[in-house]
Amino acid sequence: MQIKNCSAEDVLPLRHKILRPGRDISSAVYAEDQDKTTSHIAVVDSDKTIAVLTLLTTKKLPNYLESLSLPTNAFVQLRGMAVDEGQQGKGVGKFLIENTINQLAETGVYKILWCNARTYALPFYVKLGFKVVGDEFIVPDVGPHFVMYKTI
Ligand SMILES: CC(C)(COP(=O)(O)OP(=O)(O)OC[C@H]1O[C@@H](n2cnc3c(N)ncnc32)[C@H](O)[C@@H]1OP(=O)(O)O)[C@@H](O)C(=O)NCCC(=O)NCCS
């Protein structure tokens, strides 16, 4: 298993398959995908992409994170976290997040990794040291979520 920094085009097929199944491919495209400040990271095994995530430096933060009293540029948002079917539950997601956090720590810039976590994936993030802030909310067409964050 290898970690690779890659393009939006590289992560889109798996993001679409796992997170927007049965919907048009455009539903899996993020407005920020091609921004210079956005990065995409994949786990590749025998030339196959088996897990992906995307990092955004969103300027607009959820109110819940404002209580952390850090500058906006200290925050990085995790989006599009997906592990391929058949590869889930084998430590691949953990491997990807832990490597990503190490990469972010090396920059010395980012202090908080946060996400809108699907409620059913919440225990995964808790095991990785993420904390919940605020109340559960519904993302239309996707389902219930919580804002979660981890100190880098
Ligand atoms: C959620 C997801 C990213 C987790 O990745 P994964 O590779 O399956 O998880 P890992 O095998 O690395 O799991 C790490 C730990 O979290 C636990 N875990 C993972 N997913 C879990 C879940 N949905 N509920 C409870 N525990 C979970 C594992 O049991 C493991 O625990 P352990 O360390 O005690 O053995 C992956 O299953 C996935 O892509 N699911 C579908 C899409 C999705 O929900 N994405 C997240 C959107 S916010």
**Which CATH number does the domain housing residue 132 bear?**
3.40.630.30
Distance in Å, CA 88 to ligand 1 centroid: 7
Give me the DSSP letters along 7-46. -HHHHHHHHHHHHSTTS-GGGG--TTTT-TT-EEEEEEET
* 117 CA closest ligand 1 atom index: 48
Q: The pTM is what?
A: 0.96
Question: Quick check: 151 pLDDT over 80?
Answer: yes
Alpha-carbon gap, residue 53 to 12, rounded angstroms: 10
Asked if residue 137 has its Cβ within 6 Å of ligand 1, the reply is: no
Domain interval for residue 47: 2-151
Give the closest residue to 130 by CA, choosing from 109, 110, 146.
Answer: 146
The pLDDT of residue 141: 87
Percent of the chain with pLDDT over 70: 100
Which residue has its alpha carbon closest to ligand 1 atom 5? 93
| Minimum CA distance residue for ligand 1 atom 32 | 127
- Give the pLDDT score at 96: 98
Q: Is the CB of 4 under 6 A from ligand 1?
A: no
Q: What whole-number distance in Å separates Cα of residue 121 and Cα of residue 29?
A: 21
CB atoms within 10 A of CB 85: 11
The whole-chain average pLDDT of the chain stands at 95
Tens digit of pLDDT for each residue in 37-90? Answer: 999 999 999 999 999 999 999 778 898 898 888 888 899 999 999 999 999 999
Q: How many domains does one find in the chain?
A: 1
